[in-house]
Structure 1
Amino acid sequence: MEIDMEEKPPGRPLIKDSDLGNFLKRENIYFKYEGYNPTGTQKDRISENHVKNAIAHGYDTISVATCGNYGASIAYYARKYGLHSVIGIPSDYISARRDEISYYGGEIIEKPVKYEEMVDYIRELSASNGWYDASPGSANSKLDYYSYSAISEEIYNELGRMPEYVSVPVGNGTTMYGVYLGFKRISMKTGEKIPSFIANSTINGNPIIYSFLRGYKKIRELNPDNIQETKINEPLVAYRSYDGQKALNVLYETHGRALYSTDEEMLYISKELERLDRLSVLPASCSAVSGALRVVRDETCVILLTGRN
């Protein structure tokens, strides 16, 4: 399998949709495209920092539970900096990134469990083997928030002001919470209003969307038997969101919105972005596009496209 280990030049640009093909037919919509990261997703922002943190604290192995993208990212940076990586993937997940993880030297562990159960399993393995645990909800999670907060600073610097809305795909809620913290830090310096957040996920199950739409102030886990993973929704679907309470709080604080998308919607938008805007976008990321189209009118909105297809 040929994979270029040479990193692309830095650049996670803010792209005005109307400067491309104007697929969304709005003048006020911007894409924050994370596909230019080395492994093609926003996970590279946290993976490199976790690997460096593991090395700084004397670890020789870093581990993570993943549905694919995060595992590929951890394996990439582990190889780059000379660490061994252990990647846990539910065996029934349809991840296209297993070969890539192996290419980067990642040791793959598969079990016939759901993602949340794989997180628990990897956490136990990490504790018993003395590995650095980079999984969501670990003792190292604060590094995720710090890393993702850079997205907000880049948006603000490129736009020159706060947008009215930011639309984000949510699974665990970690990315959204980190982006919120970045805007909160900017708001404290400038006095500008923090954007309202639009949280978007799969109709097949996500606790953040479920809880907000029902007016719950405390996150509710879903029944695992009602969760339906598909090739399209795997980065989003969850019965437990590890930073769900933090993300839920953000929605209430910023007077945000929460919306579901179907696999068909996400896949359609992904194909249209490729055809009209020449952007390769992971279908799950396109939930944020679907949500923005339903909420935004004349306001400025930045849509976070978290990965390439």
Structure 2
Amino acid sequence: MEELLNVEAKPPGRTPTIKAYALGNKLHLNNLFLKFEGANATGTQKDRISEAHVINAMRGGYNGIAVGTCGNYGASIAYFAHQYGVKSYIGIPRSYSHDRTDFMQSEQAEILYYDGKYEETVEFIRDFSKDNGLYDASPGSANSSIDKMMYATIAFEIYEALLTVPSYVIVPVGNGTTLAGIYHGFRRMYDEGVIDHLPRMVGVSTSGGNPIVDSWRHGYSRVVDLNPEEIRETSINEPLVSYRSFDGQDALSAIRETHGRAMYVSDEEMVYYSNLIYSAEGLNPLPASASAVAAIGHLKVKQDETVVSVITGRQI
């Protein structure tokens, strides 16, 4: 197991895996655990990949690093770029809430507002990076293969904390990268003989629209993009809503291979469970991250089964 944890560019990580006694009682579960990625420096799981991308940008001799983001990933890239003395450029849809732009600017990032949706902002950053000799850290870029390796460490840490394979691992999905990476970690442990079976991977997203969930619900083996005009963006669902999931195929395949599920939850459910987690466990998750607990009510989980909800971020 120790050998599996030795990745080349060790990300922040080492976040707590918390047994949620009070929350579990409310949800009638004896073995509910919260993997709290909000404990990372900038408050989300994105720190696991951001530092690695910044280091790669330095090693590659690029003029800087750029990313298309709805907010949290940009804040993380800006933070680590500033730590390492690398210039950062953060592309954000102009119509989004911009909750973290002040933080990005405090980390010396240059904000590039784009008149389009998130997916189109990512494409804009792709071209902008090529034209300006920048390292593109955006999902789906030529550099994104590192993301799943970094997120695999979440699986290693879950197993290290529990010393057993959970029945379910529930992960919020936007692009699907985090879920795909966690699956990659469990799959690697399975292939190495560390574990003898895989957990059921559950992807949860916003009812505002997500291709991974929609494709699973329709029984598709391949992820199908949604109609951009049918996507409903809100300040609550911004981290999850999308008409194209850049790592959606890997996430959908992981869900299907492990006999898992994918589901939508509403903004109201996300806010409710965010407040419930705070009152029961003293953690303050982003509502979108609380979707990983909201999903439990949509699953037929037995009382003694082990459930890990990955809380991808905290409120700042």
> Which of the five TM-score ranges fits, normalised by the shorter chain?
over 0.9
Q: Measure, in 2, the Cα distance between the counterparts of 1:303 and 1:59.
A: 37
> Out of 80, 83, 103, which is 1:80 matched to?
83
Gaps of 5+ in 1: 1-8
The match for 1:167 among 165, 170, 173 is 170
Task: Report whether the alignment pairs 1:291 with 2:280.
Answer: no
Q: Deviations over 1:198-254 (max 9, x none)?
A: 110000100000000100111110000000110000000000000011111111100
Offset of 1:10 from its aligned partner? 6.7
* Counterpart-to-counterpart distance in 2, 1:26 and 1:222: 35
Matched to 1:127, the amino acid is K
Aligned AA for 2:202?
Answer: I
1:27-78 residue CA offsets vs partner (Å, 9 max, x unmatched): 1110000011000000000000000111111123000000000000000000
Mapped pair 1:24 → 2:27: yes
- TM-score, normalised relative to structure 2: 0.93
Instruction: Find the counterpart in structure 1 of residue 261 from structure 2.
Output: 257
Written as runs of structure 1 = structure 2, the 5 A alignment for 1:105-144 is 105-144=108-147
Distance 1:121 1:29, change over 3 A: same
What is residue 45 of structure 1 aligned with on the other side? Answer: 48
Does residue 230 (structure 1) correspond to residue 234 (structure 2)? The answer is yes
Instruction: Give the counterpart letter for 1:62 in structure 2.
Output: I
Q: Deviation per CA, 1:85-114: give whole Å up to 9, x if none.
A: 000000110131010011111100002210
Aligned residue for 1:140, secondary structure, equals coil
Give the match for residue 245 of structure 2.
Answer: 241
- Secondary structure (helix, strand or coil) at the match of 2:92 reads strand
CA offsets 1:241-276 (integer angstroms, 9 cap, x no match): 000111111111000111100000000111111122
Conserved 8 A contact 2:49-2:147: yes
State which of 144, 156, 161 in structure 2 corresponds to 1:158: 161
Q: Equivalent of 2:204, from 200, 203, 208? A: 200
User: Could you tell me which residue of structure 2 aligns to residue 210 of structure 1?
Assistant: 214
Secondary structure of 1:59's counterpart equals coil
> Secondary structure of 2:91's match?
strand
- Which residue in 1 is equivalent to 2:313? 307
Q: Whole-Å Cα distance in 2 between the matches of residues 39 and 304 of structure 1?
A: 16
Cα distance in structure 2, aligned partners of 1:297 and 1:265: 21
Amino acid at match of 2:302: R
Question: Structure 1 residues 261 and 20, CA, compared in 2 at 3 Å: closer, same or farther?
Answer: closer
C-alpha distance in 2, partners of 1:14/1:24?
A: 18
**For residue 6 of structure 1, what is the aligned residue in structure 2?**
none
Give per-residue Cα distances to partners, 1:93-144, cap 9 Å, x unaligned: 0131010011111100002210000000000000111100000000011110
CA RMSD of aligned residues (A): 1.4
The normalised TM-score by structure 1 is 0.95
CA distance in structure 1 between the aligned counterparts of 2:176 and 2:81, rounded to whole angstroms: 24
Q: Percent identity?
A: 52
Asked if structure 1 preserves the Cα contact closer than 8 Å seen for 2:63 and 2:132, the reply is: no
Match of 1:89 in 2: 92
Q: Which residue of 1 aligns with 2:270?
A: 266
Q: Is the 8 A contact 1:202 1:236 kept in 2?
A: yes
Give the aligned partner of residue 70 of structure 1.
73
Partner of 2:286: 282
| Per-residue deviation, residues 159-209 of structure 1 (Å, max 9, x unmatched) | 001111100000000000000000001111235111011110000100000
Number of positions where the alignment pairs a residue of Structure 1 with one of Structure 2: 301
SS at 1:35 equivalent:
helix
CA distance in 1 between counterparts of 2:24 and 2:212 reads: 32
In structure 1, distance between residues paired with 2:24 and 2:306: 18
Query: Contact 1:227–1:239 (CA<8 Å) still a contact in 2?
Result: yes
Structure-1 residue corresponding to 2:8: none
The alpha-carbon distance between structure 1 residues 111 and 182, as it changes in their structure 2 partners (threshold 3 A), is same
Contact 1:23 1:272 in 2 (8 A): no
Judge conservation of contact 2:23–2:277 (CA < 8 Å) in 1: no
**Which structure 1 residue ranges, 4+ long, deviate > 4 Å from structure 2?**
19-23
